[in-house]
Amino acid sequence: MDLTEALKLENSMWNAARNRDSEEFLKIVSPTAVMVCGGFRCSGKEYADIIRSFDCKSYTIDNFETVHEDERSFQVHYVLKMEVENEQNKDLEGTFHITTTWHFSDGAWRVVFNMDQRIA
């Protein structure tokens, strides 16, 4: 997987979340994906429900790298900086290590695992 293409896929997931578009999110993220965010574990389907009220004013991705790759899957790691719009959601704002595993199935790349860890 070309690093530029991998970054485009990752941005598509974040843009769907930022836009609170759960339908688009589930085109990118498998409903059975394991999502571990803020110490909470849920499925891709459950996370798609959560993003309907997601507060993300902006985000940036830095230090993007591929940590594993084969014909049908790849895993990336990067640092995400996220800002929120609403003051009451400031606890969601910050800098995080993110890792995502993508799998190619039925002609499309889909997220099967995503996890974050707060840095600051």
Q: Which CATH class, in words, describes the domain spanning 3-118?
A: alpha beta
What pLDDT is stored for residue 120 in this prediction?
65
pLDDT along the chain (120 residues), means of 10: 94 95 96 93 95 88 96 97 83 90 96 93
47 exposure class (CB count in 10 Å sphere: 0-12, 13-18, 19+): buried
